[in-house]
Amino acid sequence: MTKLTLGSHPFLLGFDELERLVERTAKSGNDGYPPFNIEQTSENSFRITLAVAGFSEDDLSITIEDNQLVVRGRQKDDSDGRVYLHRGIAARQFQRAFVLADGVEVGGAKTENGLLHVDLNRSKPETIVQTIKINKN
């Protein structure tokens, strides 16, 4: 018996890219750092909030690469001879990726109280009705 995958199902023509997208997302293996929230702020907008305490705006970068929103953080070593008895505040670099659907655009980003907010907006697609002429042979 042949196993049907998402991209090979006879009613889902042209969705093979979606199958690759699901596989890529499953393999990303995020380690949970930094923690984040995703909230829906309206019918067509979302906000991703990452906990980036200790990172300055210069330490953070946000890019869109191949329909992925990629947030990177890199801190400079600021120990300067300090002796820590306990160091519980994470000071490591990170990369966090979020797959964006077609039509989703970044509306802006800001830092506030140790949190990085990235606002996303989804444009509403137009409904298109197309009539196909049937040719007689």
pLDDT-based confidence at 25, cuts 50/70/90? low
- pLDDT at residue 49 in the model: 98
Residues 33-53 pLDDT 10s? 899 999 999 999 999 999 998
Residues 118-133 pLDDT 10s? 999 998 878 899 999 9
What is the CA 113 to chain-centroid distance, rounded? 22
pLDDT-based confidence at 76, cuts 50/70/90? confident
The whole-number average pLDDT for the span 71-97 is 82
pTM greater than the 0.85 cutoff: no
Q: Residue 69: helix, strand or coil by DSSP?
A: strand
Residues in the chain: 137
CB proximity list for 31: less than 8 A, separation 6 or greater: none
pLDDT-based confidence at 90, cuts 50/70/90? low
Domains in the chain, please, with CATH? 32-78+87-125 (2.60.40.790)
- pLDDT at residue 37 in the model: 96
